[in-house]
């Protein structure tokens, strides 16, 4: 049984109550295009279960984060991005604005270096 939060925008996207440009899905996650892209390819991979962040998801079910990474890899490669960056912001101080586990998948830029955070 999936955990949800009634006022969470990502829970509503996962449930299909809010439209989004879906790039892929599996039993554990949904990937959508980011509305405010920070790279030529910028997708979100959203956990089906509601937890505040990736650490909370991993604490509840360690395999859940692996399912997110697997879908991130699938949508990145399907878009022609074999090289990509995964970002999981944890907490407002790290830039997290939606408190539901999700990964940012960034690709398509030759400017991605170790110094780009």
Q: Annotated catalytic sites, by residue? A: 102
CA atoms within 13 A on the CB side of 5: 13
Q: Concatenated DSSP letters for 50-78?
A: --SSHHHHHHH-HHHHHHHHHHHHHHHHH
Residue indicated by tokens 């999981």: 88
């Amino acid at each position: 049984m999936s955990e949800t939060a009634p006022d969470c925008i990502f829970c509503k996207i996962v449930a299909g109550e809010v439209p989004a440009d879906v790039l892929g899905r599996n039993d554990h996650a949904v990937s959508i295009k980011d509305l405010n892209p920070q790279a030529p390819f910028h997708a979100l991979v959203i956990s089906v279960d509601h937890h505040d962040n990736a650490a909370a998801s991993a604490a509840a079910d360690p395999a859940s984060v692996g399912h997110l990474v697997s879908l991130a890899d699938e949508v990145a490669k399907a878009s022609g991005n074999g090289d990509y960056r995964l970002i999981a912001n944890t907490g407002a101080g790290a830039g997290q604005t939606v408190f539901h586990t999700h990964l940012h998948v960034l690709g398509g830029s030759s400017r991605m270096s170790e110094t780009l955070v």
